Amino acid sequence: MREQQHHKGWNEIKTNDSWAIFKIMGEFVSGFEKMSKIGPCVSIFGSARTKTDHKYYQLAVAIAKKIVDNGYGVITGGGPGIMEAGNKGAHLGGGTSVGLNIDLPFEQHDNPYIDSDKSLDFDYFFVRKVMFVKYSQGFVVMPGGFGTLDELFEAMTLIQTKKIDKFPIILVGTDFWGGLMDWIKNTLLDLFQNISPGDLDLIHVVDTPEEVLQILDKFYAEYNLSPNF
């Protein structure tokens, strides 16, 4: 009897997994349809916990405004903290402000600076991450936690393995990123040779909005600006 109940429970799980495919597919279809219309954008990542009076919140606002002033849109994860700062800067600059929201139990909620027709909701992190990578012309990575590092290393891995076209990855804040970059260069590269020197070519560490735009413009002076299809 117990064995029959066990098999019944397992079969229900497998059935639920199969039906989840349709929900996943729906998120991809909706995301592709909306994101394909937005034009060239730069994604801004960073901590949801950063307060509005923090220097990196203010810096993210300034960077986002600078980005839209130069013809790009801004994509964020749609939540508070650095994400809100990115959308706020885009909104203040009168540019495209996109929010890719994720349903989380605690910290995530929509911020008020996302364009009403460019707010997308996701249940699956992996679907959301595809939208970031597919429709971004660059990553601006502010100080953050696990989620920020996850996005950063996924992008680096996809570029390294040539699964996506190259785009610039700009880390903002030498005081935050310096230790990580030292470890990558000294340990991953020099000591263990687990990466190649060229893997670091697209990663830049900066501190100002002007440096962010200089890197973006220099990169795209050499390429046709188009979504990463």
pLDDT digits over 137-184, tens only? 999 999 999 999 999 999 999 999 999 989 999 999 999 999 999 999
Range in 11-15, 73-77, 202-206, 220-224 with the lowest mean pLDDT: 11-15
Nearest to 123, CA basis, from 103, 98, 151: 103
Structure tokens that stand for 169 in this block: 């990855």
What's the pLDDT band for 95 if we cut at 50, 70, 90? very high
Global pTM exceeds 0.85:
yes
Distance in angstroms (rounded) separating the CA atoms of residues 82 and 100: 14
pLDDT of residue 109: 74
**Is pLDDT at 4 greater than 60 in this prediction?**
no
- Backbone φ and ψ for 115, nearest 5 degrees, come out as -60, 135
CA dist 84 → 15, 50, 207 (Å): 39, 10, 19
Please, what CATH class does the domain formed by 2-220 belong to? alpha beta
Terminus-to-terminus CA distance in the chain, angstroms? Answer: 53
Runs of H (alpha helix) within the chain: 2-35, 55-69, 82-92, 125-134, 146-160, 174-183, 209-220
pLDDT of residue 227: 46
Residues 6+ apart with CB under 8 A from 172: 56, 59, 60, 63, 140, 141, 142, 143, 205, 206, 207, 212
**Is pLDDT at 207 greater than 90 in this prediction?**
yes
Range in 7-11, 73-77, 83-87, 154-158 with the lowest mean pLDDT: 7-11
Strand partners, 203: 169
Distance in angstroms (rounded) separating the CA atoms of residues 63 and 57: 10
Top-confidence residue, 94 or 221: 94
